[in-house]
Structures are given as structure tokens and as C-alpha cells.
Homo-oligomer: A and B are copies of this chain.
Amino acid sequence: MEQENKFVSMIKDQRITIIPEFQLQSGIVLHDVSVAYKTWGKLNQKKNNVMLICNVYTGSADFTEVWSPLMIGKGKAFDTTIFFVFCANVIGSAYGTSSPLTMNPDTGKLYGPTFPLTTPRDDVRLHKLVLDSLGVKQVAICIGGSLGGMQVLEWALVGKQKDGDEEFVKAIVPIATCAKLSAWAIAWNEVQRQIIYNDPLYCDGYYDPENPPSRGLFIARMNALITYRSRNAFESNFGRDVKEHDNYDANEPPFYQVQSYLHYQSDKFIKRFDANCYISLTHKMDNHDISKGRGGDVNNVLKSINQPALILGLKEDVLFPISEQYKLAENIPNSEIITLGIEDGHCAFLNEIDTLNNLILGFIKKHLGEIYDAKIESEFDE
């Protein structure tokens, strides 16, 4: 059942596939599951030149709206002349894959707050069905940060190809992520949920779509935004600067630049996202644990990742600290780790354009030379 709502219509040129039946990690079975995805470039004859981008938390299937255009295209990290680039929306998101905004075919009503719990592993298994339907034999490289990075780790654990000895995913680039969500990140998610729950318009999730709990979502986003940056970035960007004039001497509190920033960004966000979807994604993140159902020992599971891995972390990441990236690097046997960012926090990976272009291109040439060179050669032939 294809979902139609104002958020889905924000995403241009995406395709929607319907999966008739899909069992979640929780055991619950969903019917008529929509999966929204986009592709760029062409699948080669061997059907193995796939670059899989796992988008960020509140992103859509269109990763180009989040990542810099300077990273996309010929000679860039996301080279659409060499790779068949694929990006799909996660379950529970507002942008076209099944979510609280979707009609539940079993009841004929919107899922709303009854939408089931999902995990990054669910997303990977669902998106793989789409790749299978497109005839993809192998993913050359899988890249993603934050929630996307959790999926990247799950992709690494998908296993071998159906008809081959090689891993289905050949190489991975997890960025600013973790193998299991920390108590710290669960705590932030909990606060953000409670903020939304307490909005008078939330109505236990059965709110009027025309009059949603926007203020709660606004404040939850404000909270999240702080965790995406860092103390030092805020200090150098805003300090104690005051918006307009310093009316401190009147009996009205000054409106500091940092407040203005948080209000402006959160105001943009509530125009493009839904409260129930937001809550669904916080639970998805809380449920992330690659060791679940795989023996329970995260280090052992990481040690079983055979693929070459380029692990990227942010020095000042408050949410997924660099120590968690080192934990990945210490356990994934064929990995290298690079620390990005001088003082900014979690989200800074989206801004480190030159560094990322160089690092990802270098990693591709080292580990996926076959695909890269084949393409370059075929260009000479043309």
C-alpha cells in the first residue's frame, strides 16, 4: 500500500516497491510494506557495481539532500559514473517506506502510534529484498553515518552471496556510529520522546494530521541538535552573542545567538517531519544491537566482519564518541580508523568534504580496484 502524504511528496523521483509480507526482527509480520528508494548510475553486466548509501536519521531515500554535491559525481566519493548508487528510506520514516503515516492493511486505518518496533537490521533485510528484485548480485561498498552507520554494520553481517563464496557486501564505511546503542544515547532518545508525549496536541499519538504536536517535535529536535554539535563548536560559533541587541538591562532575558540557531533549525525541521515517525526512529535506534540473536557478545560479532572497513569518527562527537569508533576498529580485523573534525561534533562528517572524498576514493581504489579499473578501461574503449 503506497503511502501518500505531504512528506513523501517532498522527495523527487523516488520509486516505491511493495513487499507483500515482511517479518520484523520482533517476530511481527507486516503486510504490503512500502519501500521508497532512489538510484543513480547504471548497474553493470556483472550486477556488482552497487554503492549502497545508508542515509542519516531523519533523511529520505534521497541522500543528495543531506550530503554535499561536491561529493557526488565523476571523480568524487559517490561516483555515479562508476557505481550504481542505491539509497532507500528506513521503516518508520516519514518519506515513503512504511511508517506510522501508512495505512495498516490489516485494519484499514493508519498505523499511527501502533506502528511496530523496528531495528536497523529490519531495514537492511527489507532493503535487500529490493536489491534482489533489481537483480543486484553484490554490493561493492556500503557507506553511512550515524543511524546509517548502524545499517552499514548490519549490511556487513548479511553474509555470503546467494550463489557465491564472497560476502554480499564487499566493503564498508561506517561513520560516527556504534555496534549497539549506548545508555547515553538511549537517555537522549527517551527525553526527546517524553517531550513529544507531553505536547498537548500529541493525544497519545492519535493526533490530527492538520494540527500535529509541532511544538513538541520542535523542542525534541532542539534537544537532538545540541547532541549533534559540540561544546567548542557552539562556543566558537555563538559564544555569548545576543541576537539583535543586548536587552539584558531591561527585565527581559537576552535572546542569545545559540537560541536563535536552535529555534531556526528546529522550525525548519517540523515542516519536514512527523512526530510519530520521529518516535518510531528513536525506538529503532534504541533497539540497535548487532549482537542480538548472534550470541550477545558485540566484540565477537565485530570480529566476524570479514570485509575491509574504513571507520570514520569525529573527535568531539558527543553522541557516538570516538571511543565507540575505536571499539569498532579494534575488533573488525580488516579495518582502518580515521578521526575527522577539529572541534565540531557528531554531524560534522557531512562537512568534511575534501577529506571524505579523498579517504573514500582511496579506500575504493585499494579494495575495489577491479570495479573501478574495469570502468576506467571501458571508458577508454568507448
Q: Which residues of B contact A321 (CB under 8 A)?
A: 231
In the assembled complex, A57 has its CB within 8 A of some CB on chain B: no
Chain A, range 67-121, C-beta contacts under 8 Å to B: 116-117
Q: Which residues of B contact A286 (CB under 8 A)?
A: 253-254, 256
Would you give the 0/1 interface string for A250-275, flagging 1 where the beta carbon is closer than 8 Å to chain B? 11111011110010000000000000
The reply to whether B251 and A183 form a contact with Cβ atoms under 8 Å apart is: no
The reply to whether A187 and B28 form a contact with Cβ atoms under 8 Å apart is: no
In the assembled complex, A300 has its CB within 8 A of some CB on chain B: no
From A26, A258, A286, A287, residue with most partner B Cβ within 10 Å: A258
Q: Which residues of B contact A254 (CB under 8 A)?
A: 286-287
In the assembled complex, A283 has its CB within 8 A of some CB on chain B: yes
Contact A180 to B26, CB < 8 A, known contacts A194-B219, A198-B199: no
Would you give the 0/1 interface string for A274-318, flagging 1 where the beta carbon is closer than 8 Å to chain B? 000000000100110100100000000000000000000000001
Partner of A184, one of B187, B194, B234, B289: B234
Shortest CB-to-CB span from A224 to chain B, Å, is 10
Shortest CB-to-CB span from A281 to chain B, Å, is 12
Chain A interface size range: 35 or more
The reply to whether B26 and A250 form a contact with Cβ atoms under 8 Å apart is: yes
The reply to whether A183 and B222 form a contact with Cβ atoms under 8 Å apart is: no
CB closest chain-B residue, reference A324: B231
The reply to whether A194 and B182 form a contact with Cβ atoms under 8 Å apart is: no
Q: Which residues of B contact A216 (CB under 8 A)?
A: 198
Q: Which residues of B contact A117 (CB under 8 A)?
A: 248, 251-253
CB closest chain-B residue, reference A258: B183
**Complex formed: what's the CA distance from A95 to B372 in Å?**
70
Contact A251 to B116, CB < 8 A, known contacts A258-B190, A259-B190: yes
**Complex formed: what's the CA distance from A250 to B117 in Å?**
9
Contact A195 to B219, CB < 8 A, known contacts A190-B258, A251-B28, A253-B117: yes
The reply to whether B256 and A186 form a contact with Cβ atoms under 8 Å apart is: yes
The reply to whether B251 and A289 form a contact with Cβ atoms under 8 Å apart is: no
In the assembled complex, A20 has its CB within 8 A of some CB on chain B: no
In the assembled complex, A156 has its CB within 8 A of some CB on chain B: no
Shortest CB-to-CB span from A18 to chain B, Å, is 22
Q: Which residues of B contact A180 (CB under 8 A)?
A: 240
Contact A237 to B287, CB < 8 A, known contacts A116-B251, A198-B219: no
The reply to whether A239 and B199 form a contact with Cβ atoms under 8 Å apart is: no
Pull 14 A–B residue pairs with CB atoms less than 8 Å apart, ordered by A.
Answer: A26-B249, A27-B249, A28-B251, A117-B248, A182-B235, A183-B256, A184-B234, A184-B258, A186-B256, A190-B256, A198-B200, A198-B216, A253-B286, A253-B287
Task: Identify 10 new A-B residue pairs, CB closer than 8 A, beyond the known A183-B257, A184-B230.
Answer: A117-B253, A180-B240, A183-B239, A187-B226, A188-B226, A190-B259, A191-B222, A232-B323, A248-B292, A253-B283
Give the 6 A-B CB pairs with smallest separation, nearest first.
Answer: A200-B200, A183-B238, A183-B234, A184-B231, A183-B258, A184-B234
